[in-house]
């Protein structure tokens, strides 16, 4: 058995420890994971004295190569999941960009990547899942068992329960991904190209299996089109590029019209430099990059460095020495309908001093079988093409403004174009607006059914808190 595969008996033992840790939490005390790491960007309160023991739930239980499915523990990172499935010539239908995102986290908190224009979001490839509910019971949810929880679990952010085991569909892969970076000088042309590719799954006669993009400015946007190939020569090159060393992937989008990566390197192409955010730590400086061990050039390391800075405020002190005012954190991913995307991006370029911006088209996986109410806590229209717009960084707080004003301005702009905003970071919605956007009535029914004692922190309280 591979070291990456968890013995089923060990899984059952881990579940037993999880349930015992729930029982050990005194009645009336909030329940949360005993887990200090996170890919979230919301403020976190101090951990309680006792929490749920999930230490043994971070592996892959089994891979069925013939059925193209995997049984996976809820705290398994996508890095470990991919390492377990690639030897079978398989990968998840959607692999979020960052190595340490967990499968359970991507399902309860949403995830996205360049296969999302074909395969939707990670929760759509879930066949069934076991959930430790707020009531302390393990419930198996599927389209036929507890279908209300199965449909309502995505975007609930652990407020209804935690995924213990998930069975997911897999897709076949080849050894390499051939890339084509196509420049556009007009945002309307970008939207038109996305619509064509999403419909035809091809561009200029070439198959497209992966699609994302980068906007450096309203007049300089690149779409990256990817397709599987078996051999480098199929991509007219002798060897694949390596962006885990001195080269920086996001810069190559501007510099090269075609490229080639191994499938594994393609999946983690954004992780090495946390998209472009590693520059804030000097990791893109050629001299420092040579001294920075490659094994520490990864998103979870940068996340820890960011957490450390937020405690000791080194960046803020340096800003004061330079005469730069206080900064507001703006870390967001928003889903915009394709036909409103150029409008939003032009507004963003005029009002938010941040660049580059990531673009990732998506569409629900199987619109013909997916009613509008299929995923009520993050409702997207079946058949509609959306573009995820991702922007991560800080902006200087202007005179007369306060911390949070830029995020509120963005929330209003997203609402005007009928968009949605992911909740992994700061949110400022009033309760009524939040409920209207994120299935408030359905959520309350689910909360009363699966967490009747409200032991788990509510979704609004987690996402917005007391702002």
- What order do you get walking across the sheet with 357-362 strand by strand? 258-262, 176-184, 220-229, 210-217, 357-362, 386-396, 327-337, 420-421
Q: What are the tens digits of pLDDT across the range 55-67?
A: 899 999 999 999 9
Torsion of CA 94, 95, 100, 102, to 10 degrees: 20
What pLDDT does 137 receive? 94
Query: What's the pLDDT score for residue 306?
Result: 82
Do the domain assignments include residue 378? no
| Gap between the Cα atoms of 134 and 456, Å rounded | 6
- Position 313 scores a pLDDT of 66
Q: Residues 194-212: pLDDT tens digits?
A: 999 999 999 999 999 999 9
Is 54's pLDDT higher than 60? yes
Residue 299 lies in a domain: no
Q: What is the CATH number of the domain that holds 129?
A: 3.30.465.10
Identify whether 460 is part of a domain. Answer: no
SS3 call for 92: strand
Question: Does 31 reside within a domain?
Answer: yes
d(CA 307, CA 321): 21
Residue 322 has pLDDT above 70, yes or no: no
**pLDDT tens digits, 429-460:** 999 999 999 999 999 999 999 999 999 999 99
Residue 211's pLDDT is 98
pLDDT at 252: 97
Give the residue-averaged pLDDT of 276-304: 93
Query: What confidence score (pLDDT) does residue 49 get?
Result: 52
> For residue 220, what pLDDT band results from cuts at 50, 70 and 90?
very high
Closest CA to 343 of 275, 398, 406, 389: 389
- Give the pLDDT score at 374: 82
Cα Rg for the chain, rounded, in angstroms?
22
Which residues fall within 8 angstroms of residue 401, CB to CB, at 6 or more apart? none
Poorest-confidence range of 82-96, 242-256, 368-382, 432-446? 368-382
> What is each CA distance from 78 to 63, 85, 86, 186, 307, in whole angstroms?
14, 10, 12, 35, 22
- Whether 231 is in a domain gets the answer no
Q: Dump pLDDT digits (tens) for 13-36.
A: 999 999 999 888 888 788 877 665
Residue 416 clears pLDDT 50, i.e. is over it = yes
Domain count, the chain: 1
Mean local confidence (pLDDT), 156-180: 96
Cα–Cα distance, 203 to 189 (Å, whole number): 13
**300-337: buried (b, 16+ CB within 10 Å) or exposed (e) per residue?**
bbbbebbeeeeeeeebeeebeeeeeeebbbbbbbbbbb
What is the pLDDT averaged over residues 306-318?
Answer: 67
d(CA 141, CA 160): 12
Q: Which two tokens stand for residue 136?
A: 């302390």
Measure the CA–CA gap between 325 and 335, rounded to whole angstroms.
31
pLDDT in tens, 329-385: 999 999 999 999 999 999 999 999 999 999 999 999 874 455 545 899 999 998 999
Q: Is 114 contained in some domain?
A: yes
Q: Which residues pair with 325 in a beta bridge?
A: none
Structural domain contains residue 215 = no
Do residues 432 and 131 touch, judged by C-beta distance below 8 A?
no
Note the Cα 305 to chain centre separation in Å. Answer: 20
Q: What is the pLDDT of residue 73?
A: 96
Confidence of residue 51 (pLDDT cuts 50, 70, 90): confident
Q: Which residues pair with 392 in a beta bridge?
A: 331
Mean pLDDT, residues 397-411: 93
* Lowest mean per-residue pLDDT among 130-134, 188-192, 311-315, 339-343: 311-315
Asked whether 159 and 10 are in contact (CB, 8 A), the reply is no
Q: Across the chain, which distance is largest between two alpha carbons, in Å?
A: 64
Three-class DSSP labels, 360-373: EEECCCCHHHCCCC
Owning domain of residue 35: 8-173
Residue 3 has pLDDT above 60, yes or no: no
For residue 1, what pLDDT band results from cuts at 50, 70 and 90?
Answer: very low
pLDDT at 38: 58
Parallel/antiparallel/unpaired status of strands 138-141 and 202-203: unpaired
Domain assignment of residue 255, yes or no = no
Q: 275: which 2 tokens?
A: 């998209």
CA–CA distance, 265 with 243 (Å, rounded to integer): 8
Examine the pLDDT at 415 and tell me if it is beyond 50: yes
């Amino acid at each position: 058995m591979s070291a990456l595969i968890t013995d089923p008996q060990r899984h059952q033992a881990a579940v037993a420890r999880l349930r015992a840790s729930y029982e050990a939490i005194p009645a009336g005390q909030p329940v949360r994971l005993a887990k200090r790491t996170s890919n979230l960007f919301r403020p976190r309160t101090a951990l309680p004295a006792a929490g749920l023991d999930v230490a043994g739930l971070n592996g892959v239980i089994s891979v069925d190569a013939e059925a193209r499915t995997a049984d996976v523990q809820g705290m398994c990172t996508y890095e470990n999941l991919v390492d377990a499935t690639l030897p079978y010539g398989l990968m998840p239908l959607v692999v979020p960009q960052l190595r340490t995102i967990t499968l359970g986290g991507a399902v309860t908190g949403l995830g996205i990547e360049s296969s999302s224009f074909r395969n939707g979001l990670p929760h759509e490839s879930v066949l069934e899942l076991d959930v430790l509910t707020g009531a302390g019971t393990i419930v198996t949810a599927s389209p036929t068992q507890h279908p209300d929880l199965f449909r309502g679990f995505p975007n609930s952010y652990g407020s209804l329960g935690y995924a213990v085991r998930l069975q997911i569909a897999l897709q076949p892969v080849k050894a390499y991904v051939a890339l084509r970076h196509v420049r556009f000088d007009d945002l309307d042309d970008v939207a038109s190209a996305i619509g064509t590719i999403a419909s035809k799954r091809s561009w200029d006669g070439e198959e497209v299996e992966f699609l994302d993009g980068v906007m450096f400015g309203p007049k300089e946007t690149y779409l990256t089109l990817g397709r599987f190939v078996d051999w480098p020569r199929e991509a007219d090159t002798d060897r694949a590029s390596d962006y885990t060393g001195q080269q920086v992937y996001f810069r190559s989008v501007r510099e090269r019209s075609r490229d080639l990566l191994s499938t594994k390197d393609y999946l983690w192409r954004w992780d090495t430099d946390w998209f472009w955010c590693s520059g804030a730590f000097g990791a893109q400086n050629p001299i420092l990059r040579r001294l920075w061990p490659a094994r520490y050039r990864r998103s979870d390391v940068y996340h820890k460095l960011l957490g450390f800075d937020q405690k000791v405020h080194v960046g803020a002190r340096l800003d004061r020495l330079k005469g730069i005012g206080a900064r507001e954190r703006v870390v967001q991913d928003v889903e915009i309908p394709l036909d409103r995307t150029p409008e939003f991006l032009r507004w963003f370029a005029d009002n938010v001093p941040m660049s580059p911006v990531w673009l990732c088209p998506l569409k629900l996986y199987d619109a013909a079988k997916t009613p509008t109410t299929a995923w009520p806590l993050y409702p997207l229209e079946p058949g509609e093409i959306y573009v995820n717009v991702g922007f991560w960084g800080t902006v200087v707080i202007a005179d007369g403004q306060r911390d949070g004003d830029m995020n509120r301005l963005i929330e209003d702009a997203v609402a005007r174009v009928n968009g949605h905003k992911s909740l992994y970071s700061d949110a400022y919605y009033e309760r009524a607006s939040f409920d209207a956007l994120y299935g408030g009535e359905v959520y309350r029914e689910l909360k009363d059914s699966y967490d009747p004692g409200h032991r788990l922190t509510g979704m609004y309280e987690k996402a917005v808190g007391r702002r």
